[in-house]
Amino acid sequence: MDQRDHWERVYSEGRKPSWYRPHLDYSVQLIESAGLDKSAPMIDVGGGDSTLVDDLLDRGYSDLTVLDISSAAIERARARLGRRAGKVKWMNTDITSAKLLPSHYAYWHDRAVFHFLVDAESRERYVSAVRRSLKPGGHIVVATFGPAGPEKCSGLDVVRYSPDQLHAEFGGSFRKISSRTEQHVTPWGTEQQFIYCYCRMP
């Protein structure tokens, strides 16, 4: 089963994935602290069923793109948003092969996609997509499982990172601003260690 088929099955079953939380409060805090204009283009990678887009719409952000490999995840989000779904750009594609506008996004957000890229080639394609599509000076936040996080998730192997290891995947052209460790509580009450790495493009 390839990645797309796997995630279609996961979301079609109607279950919340382990990394789900009702509101991504820290992600919202980071976005607001960036001081961007509310019309700045932002992309949420792997954001299919996340409520981050809801919270950003509530705060007046108006140029939002949600990308997810699963059409079922996107449809769930669109149904949840109702008429507001028309205010969002939806991309049903794999981020490692996505056709993104060059130097377009002011803010890139990814919570729980990068750690599923277990081979170096996929990670290189991901980083290349960031380099191409972020504006000069653009912001990027990537959150993955930390060193004490799970070794597998949703039936797939993952790669765990410290903040320095995650930053190293992107290279020296990304200036590290901050990092944070978070103990995420899953929908069924267990804990997962996440790390957030916040960087800027030159």
Domains and CATH numbers, the chain: 3-200 (3.40.50.150)
Residues 136 and 167: beta-carbon distance below 8 Å: no
What the block records as the tokens of 199 is 């960087």
Task: Please check the confidence at residue 1 and state whether its pLDDT lies above 70.
Answer: no
Tokens 């410290």 locate to: 162
pLDDT in tens, 77-112: 999 999 999 999 999 999 999 999 999 999 999 999
Length of the chain: 202
Higher pLDDT pick, 21 / 45: 45
CA distance 95 to 185: 26
Give CA 41 to chain center in angstroms. 15
Tokens 């980071």 locate to: 30
What percent of the chain has a predicted confidence (pLDDT) above 90?
82
pLDDT in tens, 165-201: 999 999 888 999 999 999 999 888 889 999 999 999 9
